[in-house]
Amino acid sequence: MKNLIGAALSAAALLAAIPALAETTLTVATVNNGDMIRMQGLTSDFEGKNPDIKVKWVTLEENVLRQKVTTDIATKGGQFDVLTIGTYEVPIWAKKNWLVALDKLPADYDVDDLLPKIRDALSVDGKLYAAPFYGESSMIMYRTDLMQKAGLTMPDSPTWDFVIDAAKKMTDKANDVYGICLRGKAGWGENMAFLTAMSNSFGARWFDEKWEPQFDTPEWKDTLTTYVNLMKEAGPPGASSNGFNENLALFNAGKCGMWIDATVAASFVTNPKESKVADKVGFALAPNKGLGKNANWLWAWSLAIPAGSQKVDAAEKFIAWATSKGYTELVASKEGWANVPPGTRTSLYNNAEYTKAAAFAKMTIDSINSADPSHPTVKPVPYVGVQYAAIPEFQGLGTTVGQQFSAALSGATTVDAALAAAQKSVEREMKRAGYIK
Amino acid sequence: MARKVTGAKTAIWTAAAWLVGFIIFFPILWMMLTSFKTELDAFSTPPSFLFFHWTTENYATVQERSDYTLHAMNSIITAGGSTLIAMAIAIPAAWAMAFAPTKRTKDILLWMLSTKMMPAVGVLVPIYLIYRDFGLLDTRIGLIVVLCLGNLPIVIWMLFTYFKEIPKDILEAARMDGATITKELLFVLTPMALPGIASTLLLNVILAWNEAFWTLNLSTSAAAPLTTFIASYSSPEGLFWAKLSAASTLAIAPILILGWFSQKQLVRGLTFGAVK
């Protein structure tokens, strides 16, 4: 009996010792998007190149992930070694010293190849705090057949006047076809991402240089009136509850003439397996009003290391692998060029094979290049970010204002009342947070 | 003649009951149907009810991408474990309050219920810090503790109401016959309270199974139950409704089967004491 226990104990000790000697396990938190799921499928390539590192994935819905990761990083819980976060979080978290700077990337990583706008958005004081996995802007996706039927030709960079006119002409409510589908569901990452970007093209801004909220200006009134009227005349019914997915479903079912949303949608609407209109889609830059700014945003899902991680070196190796040129080639060889993560590297857009395989490549890069997080608006602003202001209060503010604007769209309130309520609540919160007196 | 009217009435009531039942069950049925559709069929308008291309590819994808067995085991262990502990604490507590009340009993009961009035997110950070320091993050024990504490007020309240329905005279009669406290508990009280205990137990399992705030926030992978499994298939950017439905169907399957077999006890317990 004694022998038996002894044997069992030593076996257990041996078993316990093996992983400690051999490997590091990285816990990677990520969102449930197509490109991330593809990366999970290719993990074995990284593990093959780094036999001493194992990767464990935690995939979650975006909002759940954001709450969980924020809790963990704020309390230094150390549950994760690599985080998937966006351009909104990176500057805020880096300033709070919650992220580890990525200054040990290998020489062949070629940091200078990263798209300058995206690299800027992920850097604080010249230091890179997250590496972009895929980048996106927004653009117009439109039905070439309906545009032709309306007797119009879409320019590469249309004005709002053209878009409004085209939307009205394309609308055929009797046949369930609507000229334009836009986000209406309340949320800082939902309708406010679109409306903030739209307001930039109208010359509006969230705050002036002294952080005074600007919802009482004529520019905001013009933005919101245009949006509400356009959606009433040429939008689908119930638009105030439509987000990205709902509009994607409508567009793929052939019910939208135009849709202004994330460039990443281009690969969905042109995929015959998902879309009924895959061969009738054209692309154009988001509209402008001749003021020098287009209504498009900039976002990059990026990989970063939380300050609480005990495995910084292994984590940095993983990030270098996932955002490298080599990874792009790996995806291309396994799944084709059209499926590589877009919008992070200049070299990808100089690659003839890629531009041939992805019809939307040129418009994507042009859209990304025309968005400038450091100078997002016509008039100067104290914040960074195109479709958001990179301050911790923005999530709450954006959602509160988004609810007002969504109510204006559904008709529950008027444009003037929604703007007045937005101005009041943002002013109160900015006073409370100490930005203004 | 009179019998005929009753027959027609019964038929109408039966039809109405079936209709209401069907309406209540419809979302679950729809989810199950969607799980057998392709992603393209899943969001087609108008939606197709039964005549679509049936496929099991979503289940195959879900199996390939996630470790269903691990998540299901975690759910069974955490829901079961937390229920057992909660019952072990709640039965004596409710018993004492029902049969030996003091003048503070009502206040205690209300105070317990008041802990459910605060939104859970209000204590997320303190609990997260405590869990971090005790090494309970992403452990089954950690989840069992938090689920047990979260459900205790409801469990005690339910048991208390059941116990209160048991007439004290019966206990007195037993004492007159010379029963000791142990005998009284085992042979008189327990058989009478059994339906109440059974339904509380089942409800507690269901509550713990469905709990999505704490389980999502306090577990990452090793202890992650089925709620995390579902959350990993939801996506704001991309239409994965069929896969999400397949994951959800897999997640509710065990509890649905459990509920099916125990519905008699469940209904009896829930209506116990409703009619005097």
The backbone region for A186, taken as left when phi is positive above 0, alpha when psi lies in -120 to 50, beta otherwise, is beta
Backbone angles phi, psi at B35, to 5 degrees: -65, -15
Backbone angles phi, psi at B103, to 5 degrees: -75, -10
Q: Partners of A177 in the beta sheet?
A: A172
Per-residue pLDDT of chain B in tens (276 residues, 90 and over written 9): 445 557 888 999 999 999 999 999 999 999 999 999 988 788 776 777 788 888 998 999 888 888 899 999 999 999 999 999 999 999 989 988 988 889 999 999 999 988 888 888 899 999 999 999 999 999 999 999 999 999 999 999 999 998 888 888 888 888 888 888 888 878 888 788 888 888 899 889 989 999 999 999 999 889 999 999 998 888 777 778 889 999 999 999 988 888 888 777 767 666 655 443
Q: Taking CA atoms, what residue in A is nearest to B236?
A: A245
The reply to whether domains A2-136+299-357 and A138-297+375-432 share a CATH topology is: yes
Q: Is A22 on the interface with B (CB under 8 A)?
A: no
Q: What are the strands, taking DSSP E only, across A61-101? A: 82-85, 99-100
3-class secondary-structure state, position A82: strand
Question: B46 CA to chain A: closest CA distance, Å?
Answer: 10
pLDDT of residue B17: 95
- The length of chain B is 276
**Which residue range(s) make up the domain with B217?**
59-271
Residue B2 lies in a domain: no
CATH superfamily of A138-297+375-432: Periplasmic binding protein-like II (3.40.190.10)
Cα separation, A374 vs A303, whole angstroms:
21
Question: Closest Cα partner for B97 from B161, B10, B23, B11?
Answer: B161
Cα separation, B248 vs B242, whole angstroms:
10
Tell me yes or no: is domain A2-136+299-357 CATH 3.40.190.10: yes
Three-state SS string over A324-358 comes to CHHHHHHHHHHHCHHHCCCCCEHHHHCCHHHHHHC
The backbone region for A187, taken as left when phi is positive above 0, alpha when psi lies in -120 to 50, beta otherwise, is left
pLDDT of residue A14: 47
Prior bond of B46 cis (ω within 30°) = yes
**CATH no. for residue B263?**
1.10.3720.10
A-facing residues of B in 124-183 (CB < 8 A) are: 124-125, 128-129, 132, 137-138
Domain ranges of chain A: 2-136+299-357, 138-297+375-432
Cα separation, A159 vs A167, whole angstroms:
12
Q: Taking CA atoms, what residue in A is nearest to B239?
A: A245
What's B189's DSSP letter?
I
Contact B137 A40 (CB under 8 A): no
Per-residue pLDDT at A422 exceeds 90: yes
Residue B40 lies in a domain: no
> For residue A228, how many other CB atoms are within 10 A of its CB?
21
A-facing residues of B in 47-86 (CB < 8 A) are: 65
Q: Do residues B52 and B41 lie in contact, with contact meaning Cβ atoms separated by under 8 Å?
A: yes
Query: What value does the mean pLDDT take over residues A99-122?
Result: 92
Question: A380 CA to chain B: closest CA distance, Å?
Answer: 32
- CA end-to-end span of chain B, whole Å? 33
Question: Closest Cα partner for A409 from A236, A289, A253?
Answer: A236
Cα separation, A79 vs A56, whole angstroms:
11
Cα separation, B52 vs B55, whole angstroms:
9
If 0-12 CB within 10 Å is exposed, 13-18 middle and 19+ buried, where does residue A204 land? buried
Mean pLDDT over all residues of chain A? 91
Residue B67 lies in a domain: yes
Residue B245 lies in a domain: yes
Token digits for A310?
């005990």
Residue B202 lies in a domain: yes
3-class secondary-structure state, position A1: coil
Question: A381 CA to chain B: closest CA distance, Å?
Answer: 29
Q: What is the DSSP string of B153-199?
A: HHHHHHHHHHHHHS-HHHHHHHHHTT--HHHIIIIIIHHHHHHHHHH
Cα separation, A196 vs A296, whole angstroms:
9
Torsion angle, CA of A212/A386/A105/A56, rounded to 10 degrees? 100
Token digits for B42?
């899943």
- Predicted ipTM? 0.79
Residue B143 lies in a domain: yes
Cα separation, B210 vs A110, whole angstroms:
47
Digit-coded pLDDT (tens) for A287-333: 999 999 999 999 999 999 999 889 999 999 999 999 999 999 999 99
Question: B125 CA to chain A: closest CA distance, Å?
Answer: 7
Q: Do residues B109 and B97 lie in contact, with contact meaning Cβ atoms separated by under 8 Å?
A: yes
The number of folded domains in chain B is: 1
Look up tokens 């009041």; give the residue: A424
Q: Do residues A187 and A400 lie in contact, with contact meaning Cβ atoms separated by under 8 Å?
A: no
Residue B82 lies in a domain: yes
Cα separation, B244 vs A248, whole angstroms:
17
In chain A, which residues have their Cβ closer than 8 Å to the Cβ of B137? Answer: 77, 79
Q: H or E element: which one contains A272?
A: none
pLDDT of residue B8: 86
**A281-285 and A127-128 as β-strands: parallel, antiparallel, unpaired?**
unpaired
Q: Which amino acid is at A377?
A: T
